């Protein structure tokens, strides 16, 4: 029993934290977000370090590591609020690695692993996927719908309509396709891993928003003392810790299930996604409240975190949808190991 | 990261599970005295099987269990719905204090009778005017002719009417800052100068007592940890109370969740989307309580001492149990008003969960100041 990272995993976390901290200082994130662009050099650097294919098997150009290592990276990417097309590409990698046919893997995984021919995933609802990250720069798009039907399509064959979301640290599009080839395997196994990686990203976002609140509460003085001495503020911060740590435990556990105990993954992944979706938003919103008026200004960085947390909450199944799935598993209506994905 | 049990841990758990299946004492019988004797018998059964004082070092009659085994023990006891052994306060708080701070004579005198249940222990910390602000307590102990003379009042004293010994914190020096003037005593309850009055709680059970001391006597050899060190000695017991309880409380909530789902099925409300959302949210939070507890345990194993983040599971547990019983009573509808309904009892009893053993507000203060490093209010 060791609910902590191994030394190797700690090293990955440290490297990611340092590299992302250096590449994505707050001013740089702001510059990229305001111009709606990504840092291509940083993306290249990450890809050369093997991050893009960290969980992809070595046969297809990846590192052959697990979902725990992926979650470590996404948490740090969230913490740094990195404007890079990592999550979308990882989602496509997960879909193809865990549900693709041999042929699909051979065709797409090497480009995803190298970061040179990226992919993305969208949830298909009523013939359209309405929130697809980085569809406009991907080579391959995987669409998954609630009944388990799937389509793998070349991006050039899809109707892609980029649109602006509140989250300017990433780019999104609406996607429609005709036809496409289905995945060969269990798309829910892939969906659970995507939800897990995304939950870990939200943990990082919320962690940083909490740290900003605590720092501000220590520095900001009103009525002659630091506002963090007042329980109306300090208890708000304690609540943030409760929710951040809960989200973290849930995401780490789901990642471990994915690697070591897949029969527990559906409930763990949906639980993590539901809880982190709510917590991510609440922690950021609470941090904004601690900041007061300055937190509501465009010039303060907090709103970038708030918006990314909310967009993560809406992406790949909402909290309510994932809770519904947890209810169905818990009430014995679904076998955990063959659970359906969230309702679209 | 490896959340599986080692073969020896698994073996331990299987053995305990089998033992519990064969030796489960059944539910408490009706009547306070009958329930007490039932639990005393249960304590003896645990002792004879080597499961009492589980976390205590072997040299003091315990089992020297690892932290993982302690957590598994708590989980299995909850899973089997086994009653609390009668001397839980002695085993969780009194014994560890004597082991950490006591003299050889004190260990010889007290430890074994805690484990066998022959001598019941109670805790005299809180006072009517000193709840969360424990260090402000006023019960006074004055030394006279080689013994201590104690006058004052304590409250929330579980099993005071059955106890032989009381872990008593009293003020022995009025002239120093409040945390420095306290001393930790073991007081004999069997004396005229100690009076016990039952305190009926909102469930109408007299689970707790008030304790009145009018020149009660404590021999000098019953001071534990030295005169003036009462605060740090008492804190050891509070930390002990919290460490490792998380896993057990999560297992308890898991059983409660099973009951709740059963109720929802029986009452035919499982197709109600609002009920489904609330059940799922509870299921998720129960699981996160378990996971936070195990993560905290990993940290204790690495650092050797319980950290302040041990405050999270206690807080979570109280909120979960309250929300869970509220949902159950919502599902029961008008039947939820029935005084005889076990859910009604739990609805009411769970209101104490965010007060007993440290209020949620105090836990938030601890987290704010000691985990997040926010400035102190005081």
For B321-376, what is each residue's pLDDT tens digit?
Answer: 999 999 999 999 999 999 999 999 999 999 999 999 889 999 999 999 999 999 99
**Average pLDDT value over all residues in chain B:** 93
Residues A163 and A208 in one domain: no
CA-nearest of A49, A136, A138 to A89 is A138
User: Any catalytic annotation for residue B241?
Assistant: yes
pLDDT per position as a tens digit, A139-168 = 999 999 988 899 999 999 999 999 999 999
Instruction: Determine the longest span between alpha carbons in chain B, in angstroms.
Output: 73
Residues A156 and A201 in one domain: no
Q: Answer yes or no: is pLDDT of B26 > 70.
A: yes
| Number of other residues whose CB lies within 10 A of the CB of residue B133 | 12
Residues A49 and A143 in one domain: yes
More confident residue, B296 or A337: B296
Contact state of A327 with B367 under an 8 Å Cβ cutoff = no
Nearest CA in chain A to B288: A246
Q: What is residue B67's predicted lDDT score, i.e. its pLDDT?
A: 86
Residues A204 and A333 in one domain: yes
pLDDT per position as a tens digit, A21-33 = 999 999 999 999 9
Given A125, A155, A176, the domain boundary residue is: A176
Q: Answer yes or no: is pLDDT of B225 > 90.
A: yes
**Average pLDDT value over all residues in chain A:** 95
Contact state of A6 with B315 under an 8 Å Cβ cutoff = no
Q: Answer yes or no: is pLDDT of A244 > 50.
A: yes
Q: Is the dihedral of CA B331, B333, B335, B337 positive or negative?
A: positive
Contact state of B295 with A3 under an 8 Å Cβ cutoff = yes
- For an interface test with B, the pick among A70, A223, A236, A238 (most B C-beta atoms closer than 10 Å) comes out as A238
Q: Answer yes or no: is pLDDT of A206 > 80.
A: yes
Q: Answer yes or no: is pLDDT of A296 > 50.
A: yes
Count up the domains in chain A and report the number.
2
Residues A14 and A130 in one domain: yes
Contact B26, B45 (CB under 8 A): no
CA of A132 to nearest chain B CA: how many angstroms apart? Answer: 27
For residues B265 and B269, give the distance between their C-alpha atoms in angstroms, rounded to a whole number. Answer: 6
Given A121, A142, A176, the domain boundary residue is: A176
A13: in domain:
yes
Q: What is residue B125's predicted lDDT score, i.e. its pLDDT?
A: 94
A249: in domain:
yes
Domain membership of residue A63 as a residue range:
7-176
Three-state SS at B253: helix
Domains defined along chain B, listed by start: 7-86 (1.10.540.10), 121-228 (2.40.110.10), 243-371 (1.20.140.10)
A182: in domain:
no
Contact state of B295 with A214 under an 8 Å Cβ cutoff = no
Nearest CA in chain A to B7: A1
For residues A17 and A210, give the distance between their C-alpha atoms in angstroms, rounded to a whole number. Answer: 17
Q: Which of A256-260, A304-308, B304-308 has the lowest mean pLDDT?
A: B304-308
For residues A211 and A81, give the distance between their C-alpha atoms in angstroms, rounded to a whole number. Answer: 14
Contacts of B310 in chain A (CB under 8 A): none
Residue range A299-317: mean pLDDT, rounded: 98
Residues A301 and A235 in one domain: yes
Residues A286 and A170 in one domain: no
Three-state SS at B308: helix
Q: What is residue A343's predicted lDDT score, i.e. its pLDDT?
A: 43
Residues A69 and A152 in one domain: yes
Residue range B222-242: mean pLDDT, rounded: 84
Contact state of A4 with B302 under an 8 Å Cβ cutoff = yes
Contact state of A274 with B281 under an 8 Å Cβ cutoff = yes
Q: How many residues does chain B have?
A: 378
pLDDT per position as a tens digit, A76-117 = 999 999 999 999 999 999 999 999 999 999 999 999 999 999
Contacts of B264 in chain A (CB under 8 A): 331
ipTM for the predicted complex: 0.96
CATH of the domain at A133: 1.10.540.10
Contacts of A320 in chain B (CB under 8 A): 277
Contacts of B372 in chain A (CB under 8 A): 214, 234, 237-238, 241
User: Catalytic one among B75, B127, B241, B285?
Assistant: B241
Residues A193 and A281 in one domain: yes
Q: Answer yes or no: is pLDDT of B210 > 60.
A: yes
A144 forms beta bridges with: A123, A150
- Sorted by sequence, the CB contacts under 8 Å of residue A301 that are 6+ apart come out as A26, A29, A30, A212
CA separation (Å) from A160 to A85, A123, A167?
A: 16, 14, 18
DSSP A45-89: HHHHTT-TTTTS-GGGTS----HHHHHHHHHHHHHHT--SSHHHH
Going through B225-339 in order, the beta strands assigned E by DSSP cover none
Q: What is residue B347's predicted lDDT score, i.e. its pLDDT?
A: 98
Predicted model pTM: 0.95
Confidence of residue A193 (pLDDT cuts 50, 70, 90): very high
The phi and psi torsions of B217 (rounded to 5 degrees) equal: -110, 135
Residues A18 and A156 in one domain: yes
CATH of the domain at A266: 1.20.140.10
Q: What is residue B240's predicted lDDT score, i.e. its pLDDT?
A: 55
Nearest CA in chain A to B360: A235
Q: Answer yes or no: is pLDDT of A334 > 90.
A: no
Q: What is residue A260's predicted lDDT score, i.e. its pLDDT?
A: 97
pLDDT per position as a tens digit, B105-123 = 999 999 999 999 999 999 9
Confidence of residue A344 (pLDDT cuts 50, 70, 90): very low
DSSP A151-207: EEEEGGGSEEEEE--S-TTS-EEEEE-S--B--SS-HHHHHHHHHHHHHHHHHHHHH
A59 by Cβ neighbours in 10 Å (0-12 / 13-18 / 19+) ranks as exposed
Going through B95-193 in order, the beta strands assigned E by DSSP cover 121-124, 140-144, 147-155, 165-171, 182-188
Tracing tokens 């059964």 back to the chain, one arrives at B45
């Amino acid at each position: 029993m060791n609910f902590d990272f191994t030394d190797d995993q700690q090293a990955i976390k440290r490297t990611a934290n340092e590299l992302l901290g250096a590449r994505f200082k707050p001013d740089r994130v702001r510059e990229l977000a305001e111009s709606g662009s990504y840092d291509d050099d940083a993306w290249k650097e990450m890809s050369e370090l093997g991050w893009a294919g960290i969980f992809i098997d070595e046969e297809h150009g990846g590192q052959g590591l697990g979902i725990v290592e992926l979650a470590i990276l996404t948490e740090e990417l969230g913490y740094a609020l990195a404007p890079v097309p990592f999550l979308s590409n990882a989602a496509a990698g997960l879909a193809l690695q865990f549900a693709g046919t041999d042929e699909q893997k051979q065709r797409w995984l090497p480009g995803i692993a190298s970061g040179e021919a990226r992919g993305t995933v969208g949830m298909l609802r009523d013939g359209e996927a309405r929130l697809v990250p980085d569809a406009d720069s991907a080579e391959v798009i995987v669409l998954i719908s609630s009944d388990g039907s799937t389509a793998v399509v070349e991006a050039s064959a899809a109707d892609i309509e980029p649109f602006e979301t509140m989250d300017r640290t990433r780019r999104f599009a609406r996607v429609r396709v005709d036809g496409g080839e289905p995945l060969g395997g269990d798309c829910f196994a892939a969906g659970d891993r995507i939800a897990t990686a995304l939950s870990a990203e939200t943990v990082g976002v919320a962690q940083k928003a909490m740290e900003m609140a605590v720092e501000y509460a220590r520095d900001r003085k009103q009525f002659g003392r630091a506002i963090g001495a007042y329980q109306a503020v300090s208890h708000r911060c304690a609540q943030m810790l409760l929710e951040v740590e809960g989200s973290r435990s849930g995401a780490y556990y789901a990642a471990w299930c994915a690697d070591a105990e897949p029969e527990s993954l559906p409930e763990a992944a949906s639980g993590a996604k539901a809880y982190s979706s709510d917590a991510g938003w609440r922690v950021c919103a609470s941090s904004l409240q601690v900041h007061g008026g300055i937190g509501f200004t465009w010039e303060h960085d907090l709103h970038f975190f708030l918006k990314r947390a909310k967009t993560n909450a809406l992406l790949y199944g909402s909290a309510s949808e994932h809770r519904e799935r947890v209810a169905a598993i818990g009430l014995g209506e679904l076998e955990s190991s063959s659970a359906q994905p969230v309702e679209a | 990261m490896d959340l599986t049990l080692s073969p020896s841990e698994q073996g331990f758990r299987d053995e305990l599970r089998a033992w519990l299946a064969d030796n489960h004492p059944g539910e408490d019988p009706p009547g306070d005295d009958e329930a007490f004797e039932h639990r005393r018998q249960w304590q003896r059964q645990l002792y004879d099987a080597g499961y009492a004082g589980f976390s205590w070092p072997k040299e003091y009659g315990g089992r020297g269990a690892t932290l993982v085994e302690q957590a598994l023990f708590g989980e299995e006891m909850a899973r089997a719905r086994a009653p609390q052994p009668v001397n839980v306060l002695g085993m969780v708080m009194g014994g560890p204090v004597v082991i950490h701070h006591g003299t050889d004579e004190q260990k010889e005198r007290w430890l074994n009778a805690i484990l066998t249940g022959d001598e019941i222990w109670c805790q005299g910390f809180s006072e009517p005017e000193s709840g969360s602000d424990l260090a402000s307590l006023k019960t006074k102990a004055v030394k006279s002719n080689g013994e201590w003379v104690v006058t004052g009042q304590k409250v929330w004293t579980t099993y005071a009417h059955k106890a032989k010994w009381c872990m008593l914190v009293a003020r022995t020096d009025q002239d120093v800052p409040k945390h420095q003037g306290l001393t930790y005593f073991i007081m004999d309850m069997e004396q005229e100068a100690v009076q016990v009055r039952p305190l009926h709680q909102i469930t109408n059970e007299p689970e707790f007592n008030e304790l009145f001391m009018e020149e009660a006597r404590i021999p000098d050899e019953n001071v534990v940890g030295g005169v003036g060190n009462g605060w740090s000695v008492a804190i050891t017991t509070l930390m002990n109370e919290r460490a490792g309880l998380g896993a057990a409380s999560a297992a308890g909530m898991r059983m409660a969740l099973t009951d709740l789902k059963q109720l929802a099925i029986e009452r035919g409300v499982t197709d109600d989307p609002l009920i489904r959302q609330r059940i799922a949210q509870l299921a998720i939070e129960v699981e996160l309580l378990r996971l936070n507890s195990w993560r905290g345990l990993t940290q204790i194993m690495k650092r050797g001492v319980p950290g302040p983040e041990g405050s999270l599971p206690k807080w979570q547990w109280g909120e979960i149990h309250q929300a869970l019983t509220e949902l159950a009573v919502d599902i029961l509808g008008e039947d939820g008003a029935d005084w005889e309904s076990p859910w009604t009892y739990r609805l009411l009893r769970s209101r104490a969960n965010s007060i007993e053993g440290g209020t949620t507000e105090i836990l938030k203060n601890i987290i704010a100041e000691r985990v997040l490093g926010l400035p102190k209010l005081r």
